[in-house]
A and B are shown apart, each in its own frame.
Chain A
């Protein structure tokens, strides 16, 4: 495992990926839903740029429209207002150059881990399958599922399923990866491991990533840019550059810089959380609790 940990991105590989790296511009995006007679504004004039090859983490209380933004970027939904472009091209409809990893596991239960991972290249028919096979083997190794290559998803644990799903997305070399609270519902230990697995994959490939979470530690640990979102309607309130060194390791969570970032983010989120808390949000309650504990 240590050997794999050290197998990080070489500068050459990062350079080779430069041309495929995508910039996403989200400009003045609004979206509202009509439920019966009530019209609720979910996203209000959101503007955000995802820098090429950077990992942007979007954090905010639950129900603040983060998933809606992912759905718009994924092409599953359309914005009412504003524009969303990938390298200048407007986004319309789902596509394999923008891969989404959703909260719930969507591994095909009738395929083995390996069959799931090679699914994308298999149906896109644009790559040599021999080469894909090699790459799949490498990814399986990287996410620690080598021995589970021929198992079905029902035979994998929750964490393994998430890793398989990450590998299934990564193998397509998408220009943009969208992750919607992918580690939600995993226990704390597994979650930490998953973050490390994910970083290992990211630091290897350096694709443009938008990662949505409601966990502050996860957010800062992963992010190049941390974007804070407000609640109802969802607005972008602040964007923070996280300049912690990469590759990131768990011990970073103890460093003073890390704690400074956390303090700053919590300060801003606290205000928002109090509002959401009044509305009964559990994630907001967690924020408030974390905020109160920060000096302890």
Chain B
């Protein structure tokens, strides 16, 4: 290929501003050109107005005790917050860090243990026959029902909290990985066998990539329920973290802080999901692309 042709080919996959097509900033720019983000912002704005009207303006019965958006925002952006928690206080970030770290450990364990277990269950019928019934019985037990046992079983203060978050995520990652393998069409296994694959190669090159879309669905659900159970666990037996902050603020009647912590949970949870989605997209280029 001549130099000129090479340059022409490269430039075709770049935008006028020189960013490669498909990069994060390129996708961001594309998104801003569509109405989607603006509609989303409008939705959030409408919700904010509703919140303001019910709590601060109309002061409807049962709503008047709730902190309104202006009160929450003032508290959050204050350098000297009335209740001691705002974007300027290190306390706020310490709570986020505690919760994030716990979820990271719990979710990490659920991934490292659950995904291989689920893949293996989906792959080996007999193994599934042993393990599936016990998992199916344990799974519907609400995580909160585990609280006493978790405290009895696990040493210290941290372990029970992480255990509860782990447990919830573990079932999601395991079962989705298993379903992922089971959804792989039999013809791929047949083809792999007839092309001379060893069992290990079938696992590596067919089972793992074939189950990947469902594995990532499981991770998304897993990280969601990990946050969910974490907050519950922190409310019961924590001394840091966003769940603890919510409960503590309730007990001390510091209502705006509750909302600050809630919104923070929403945002942090969103970031976690977004990271998993991005990793999934990176690993599974083949699912996103359509007919050329």
**Which residues of A are in contact with B by a Cβ distance under 8 Å?**
74-76, 94-96, 98-100, 102, 104, 106, 108-111, 119-120, 123-124, 148, 151-155, 157, 168, 172
CB distance from B116 to the nearest CB of A (A): 18
CB distance from A109 to the nearest CB of B (A): 6
Residues of B within 8 Å of A154, CB to CB, are 286, 289-291
B201 contact from A100, A106, A123, A172, Cβ within 8 A: A123
Chain B interface mostly helix, strand, loop or mixed? helix
Q: Which of B6-32 contact A (CB under 8 A)?
A: none
CB distance from B45 to the nearest CB of A (A): 39
Q: What is the total of A-B residue contacts with beta carbons within 8 Å?
A: 73
Which residue on B lies nearest to A98, using beta carbons?
B194
Whether B289 pairs with A124 at a CB distance below 8 angstroms is no
Whether B195 pairs with A123 at a CB distance below 8 angstroms is yes
Whether B210 pairs with A110 at a CB distance below 8 angstroms is yes
CB distance from B141 to the nearest CB of A (A): 36
Q: Which of B151-197 contact A (CB under 8 A)?
A: 185, 187-188, 190-197
B53 within 8 A of A: no
A109 contact from B192, B201, B286, Cβ within 8 A: B286
Residues of A within 8 Å of B185, CB to CB, are 106
B94 within 8 A of A: no
CB distance from B162 to the nearest CB of A (A): 34
Whether A100 pairs with B205 at a CB distance below 8 angstroms is no
**Which residues of B are in contact with A by a Cβ distance under 8 Å?**
185, 187-188, 190-198, 201, 205-206, 209-210, 212, 284-287, 289-292
Residues of A within 8 Å of B188, CB to CB, are 106, 108
Whether B291 pairs with A155 at a CB distance below 8 angstroms is yes
Whether B209 pairs with A99 at a CB distance below 8 angstroms is no
Whether A120 pairs with B187 at a CB distance below 8 angstroms is no
B198 contact from A99, A120, A123, Cβ within 8 A: A123
Docked complex Cα distance between A110 and B123 (Å): 18
CB distance from B247 to the nearest CB of A (A): 45
Whether A99 pairs with B194 at a CB distance below 8 angstroms is yes
* Max chain A C-beta neighbours (<10 A), residue from B193, B196, B284, B291: B196
Whether A102 pairs with B196 at a CB distance below 8 angstroms is no
CB distance from A105 to the nearest CB of B (A): 8
Residues of B within 8 Å of A168, CB to CB, are 195
Whether B194 pairs with A95 at a CB distance below 8 angstroms is yes
Docked complex Cα distance between A110 and B206 (Å): 9
Residues of B within 8 Å of A75, CB to CB, are 194
CB distance from A50 to the nearest CB of B (A): 17
Docked complex Cα distance between A260 and B284 (Å): 53
Q: Do A110 and B212 form a contact, CB below 8 Å, given A119-B195, A152-B286? A: yes
Kindly list the 8 A-B residue pairs having the minimum CB-CB distance in the complex, ordered from nearest.
A96-B196, A106-B191, A110-B209, A106-B187, A120-B195, A152-B286, A124-B196, A155-B292
CB distance from A248 to the nearest CB of B (A): 28
Whether B195 pairs with A96 at a CB distance below 8 angstroms is yes
Q: A96-B195, A110-B284, A123-B196 given; name 16 further pairs at CB < 8 Å.
A: A94-B190, A94-B194, A95-B194, A96-B194, A99-B194, A108-B205, A109-B286, A109-B287, A111-B209, A119-B205, A123-B201, A123-B205, A152-B285, A152-B286, A154-B291, A172-B196
Docked complex Cα distance between A134 and B192 (Å): 22
Docked complex Cα distance between A75 and B193 (Å): 11
Which residue on A lies nearest to B283, using beta carbons?
A110
Whether A120 pairs with B284 at a CB distance below 8 angstroms is no
